[in-house]
Amino acid sequence: MKFQLYNTEKVQTYISKREGETKLGENVQFVKTIEDLQKISAQYVVLGIPEDFGVRANYGVGGTQTVWNAFLSKFLNIQENQYQTGENIVLLGAFDFSEEYQQNPHDIKTLRNLVAEIDQNVSKVLIEIFKAGKTPIIIGGGHNNAFPNLKAASEGLNQKINCVNLDAHADYRILEGRHSGNGFRYAKEEGFLGKYYMIGLHENYNSQSLFDALNVDLSIDFILYEEIKIKEEITLREAFDKAKEFVKEKPVGIELDLDCIEGVLSSAMTPTGFSANEARQFIDYFKQEVDVAYLHICEGAYELENGQISSQTGKLISYFVSDFIKSR
């Protein structure tokens, strides 16, 4: 797997130009080497990890590798106007997994070994972004990439990283080989993850052994989806406030798993979940309220391996990314 740096020519096919208008993609920045990030003034670095190996290594429905191109076709066509400009954005590029897909791995052991290899490659690229003082915006891919995100942030910023995760699942399964369901557990075990707060866990889809692991660790806390939206014991804003107080003393990784949003095409789609606007509020709130290390949006798909297709997922992610960049 190689990281492919993008340039102006690479993205031209994504941009629909129109006279009298300027699209974001016409002014986003590019670099010839990752080291050139040190020389550029743009703060936000967008990159893609188009893979579903971690999802399939967790016995999930594949397809998360399809959302990166769908995202680009929407994001690069956002109107540049008084609210947003491409000049503060570097479109770095994406990992090329074409050789890995040609090998077409299916057995769990091979997939989990491949995820561990992806961990190392992703963290190497991200560390360079952190060392340059930039803020990465990472588009997955599976939630397995939370581990290299946290590893790179911790090593690049020389401290443990706290994390807030809007998610139906804790992704804190046992250390059984790398996959999309245990990235945070590995990050905690290896000393990269400090405090971890989850907003919106579903009672029905987190095991008792998992809750047992969460309950005994004082550096981990969560609020259930049912507490917020069904029993209405706490408002979403109050949940945000509670999470902020828990994680605010260190740089914070913002993690958004699209399977927490009702009806969004993802590896573990849900018929009951947060709205798209509530997820936008999540990003806007934490961008303003904490020292953000990175944003990671994962688990979404344009097309799942079972044949389901949604043209809206890429556009939704483009809203999340533009909200993050615009928020002050």
Check residue 327 and give its pLDDT.
87
Q: Where are the alpha helices (DSSP H) in the chain?
A: 8-11, 53-57, 67-75, 98-103, 108-131, 146-157, 183-189, 208-215, 225, 236-247, 276-289, 313-326
Question: The CATH number of the domain where 128 resides is what?
Answer: 3.40.800.10
Q: Is the pLDDT of residue 58 over 90?
A: yes
**Mean pLDDT across the chain, nearest whole number?**
98
Q: What percent of the chain has pLDDT over 70?
A: 100
Written as one letter, the residue type at 108 is: I
Q: Is the pLDDT of residue 320 over 90?
A: yes
Q: Is the pLDDT of residue 211 over 90?
A: yes
- Split at pLDDT 50, 70, 90, the class of 145 is very high
- Split at pLDDT 50, 70, 90, the class of 36 is very high
Predicted model pTM = 0.98
* Rounded mean pLDDT, 47-62: 98
Q: What is the pLDDT of residues 264-283, one digit of tens each?
A: 999 999 999 999 999 999 99
Give the separation between CA 207 and CA 139, rounded to whole angstroms.
27
Check residue 161 and give its pLDDT.
99
Q: Is the pLDDT of residue 104 over 90?
A: no
- Split at pLDDT 50, 70, 90, the class of 328 is confident
Check residue 178 and give its pLDDT.
98
Q: What percent of the chain has pLDDT over 90?
A: 98
How many domains are there within the chain? Answer: 1
Are 166 and 297 in contact by the 8 Å Cβ rule? The answer is: no
Domain hosting residue 178, numbered range: 2-326
Give the lowest-confidence range in 103-107, 179-183, 201-205, 221-225: 103-107
